[in-house]
Structures are given as C-alpha cells and as structure tokens.
Amino acid sequence: MLVHVVLFRPKPDISEETRREMFDALWTAASGIPTVRRFHVGARKTHGAAYETFMREDFPFAAIIEFDDLEGLQAYLRHPHHEKLGALFYQLQEMALAYDYDMTAV
C-alpha cells in the first residue's frame, strides 16, 4: 500500500467560497478517481503534546490518500480530476508539503 500525504496551509486572504471550491475539488478527486482506496481530509488538532514544540511550520490541514501500489498513485496524479485539483491547489496555497510512503517497506 502507498500513502500520499499532503500537509497544506491555504493563503489567509482566500474567500470562503474559494476555500469551499478547493475542498470540493479534493472530494471530487477522492470519489472520482478509481485507484483511490481511501481518502481523508482533516483539520489539525493541537492539544499541548511535547512533540508540537518541534513543529516550525503550521499546516492546518492534511489529506491522506491510500493506493494499492505505485501505479495507482501515478494514475491518480495523471487523472483529469487531479490535474484540476492541482491547478487550483497551487494557486490557493501559502505553503504545502507532499510525501509518498510505502507502508509495506518496513
């Protein structure tokens, strides 16, 4: 299983309508691309844990997308729904990180 992890911080001045458009594009990609096995989007929760002091950047949102294999991830990245999401995402983010993890490698 491969996991695509995206941490992101939208620009502070985007409108609520534009923010909704971004999250709608996320859900369209999640539900409309057949290689996606599971898709979660959530808001960061802080609670005073010691490890929070190591976080130099704040990413208030995370998207976690699961795939069976690398081919599934690559098909997702090339899909028209993701291309639309990517264009919108790059336009609206102040900062983002994306990482891919092989959950069977360790």
- Give the residue-averaged pLDDT of 33-44: 96
pLDDT tops 90 at residue 30: no
Domains of the chain, residue spans:
2-36+53-59+69-102
Q: Whats the size of the chain, residue-wise? A: 106
pLDDT tops 90 at residue 105: no
If phi over 0 gives left and psi between -120 and 50 gives alpha, with beta otherwise, what is residue 103?
alpha
At 60 the pLDDT is 96
Residues 99, 12 contacting (CB under 8 angstroms): no
pLDDT tops 90 at residue 11: yes
Q: Which residues pair with 43 in a beta bridge?
A: 61
Six-digit token string for 24: 């709608």
pLDDT tops 90 at residue 9: yes
Q: Does domain 2-36+53-59+69-102 sit in CATH 3.40.30.10?
A: no
Six-digit token string for 73: 């991830």
Nearest alpha carbon to residue 38 among 78, 70, 3 = 3
Residues 26, 41 contacting (CB under 8 angstroms): yes
Q: What phi, psi does 63 have (nearest 5°)?
A: -120, 130
pLDDT tops 90 at residue 77: yes
pLDDT over 90 percentage in the chain: 82
Nearest alpha carbon to residue 93 among 27, 31, 6, 3 = 6
